[in-house]
Amino acid sequence: MPKLFIQPAPAQNDEQSSDLTVQFYKLHCQRIGAMKRHLTIPAENEAVFLWTLKSFNAFTFIPYCIEQYGTIDELCLSTYTISRKITDTLVQLIDSGKLKDVHVFVSESLKFRMPDVINQLNAVLPSRPNFRVHYAWNHSKITCAKCGNHHLVLEGSGNWSDNAQYEQYLLTNSKEVYEFRKKNICPVE
């Protein structure tokens, strides 16, 4: 995969970055406490509709799945944008074994809009073969999480960033939908 070289962002030491990542993840774990009162994982071939305001973004689904199942075997996500906090947290979850395989399909414009995210990805991807990123002119927002025999697909308006406002989501538990969406967002390598 060719690298895009961009002016480096202000440096953070590894300890600061790790502390911020842990705090970020804990915040989302707190958010799922409220979610659990209103959301259960749908049964096979069922769907749940969600309407959220600020407290939930697409990333919140990841700690929710990890709490429910322990690990996510395969994560395929498609988004227009992704924040540095989220990519840092994905790396830590991969390194801790909570995420086994991750594929991110993100908009090509991220290279120009958020060079610090690109720099961070260029630094971490070569040493993590189970973390891949694909760029294209993308605006879709889909998350596929395979957790054991569960094939969860979260679709909706929320990006993988911290600017969630009113967002709508559809959560399904369907192997057929999972494979269809995965085929669209994870190109064969």
How confident is the model over 161-187, as pLDDT tens digits? 776 678 888 999 999 999 999 998 987
Residue 168: strand, helix, or coil: strand
Q: Which residues pair with 76 in a beta bridge?
A: 103, 144
Q: Check residue 22 and give its pLDDT.
A: 67
- Smallest CA-to-CA distance from 35 within 174, 131, 171, 132 is with 171
Q: Check residue 10 and give its pLDDT.
A: 42
Low-confidence ranges of the chain (pLDDT < 50): 1-12
Q: Check residue 7 and give its pLDDT.
A: 34
Q: Check residue 35 and give its pLDDT.
A: 64
> Under a CB-based contact definition with an 8 Å cutoff, are residues 158 and 142 in contact?
no
- Smallest CA-to-CA distance from 133 within 173, 79, 85 is with 79
How far apart, in whole angstroms, are the C-alpha atoms of residue 108 and residue 137? Answer: 5
Angle at 18 between CA 53 and CA 118, to 5 degrees: 75
Q: Check residue 53 and give its pLDDT.
A: 72
pTM: 0.81
> Under a CB-based contact definition with an 8 Å cutoff, are residues 185 and 77 in contact?
yes
Q: Check residue 160 and give its pLDDT.
A: 79
How far apart, in whole angstroms, are the C-alpha atoms of residue 97 and residue 93? Answer: 6
How far apart, in whole angstroms, are the C-alpha atoms of residue 66 and residue 91? Answer: 15
> Under a CB-based contact definition with an 8 Å cutoff, are residues 109 and 137 in contact?
yes
Q: Check residue 8 and give its pLDDT.
A: 36
How far apart, in whole angstroms, are the C-alpha atoms of residue 120 and residue 88? Answer: 8
Q: Check residue 2 and give its pLDDT.
A: 37
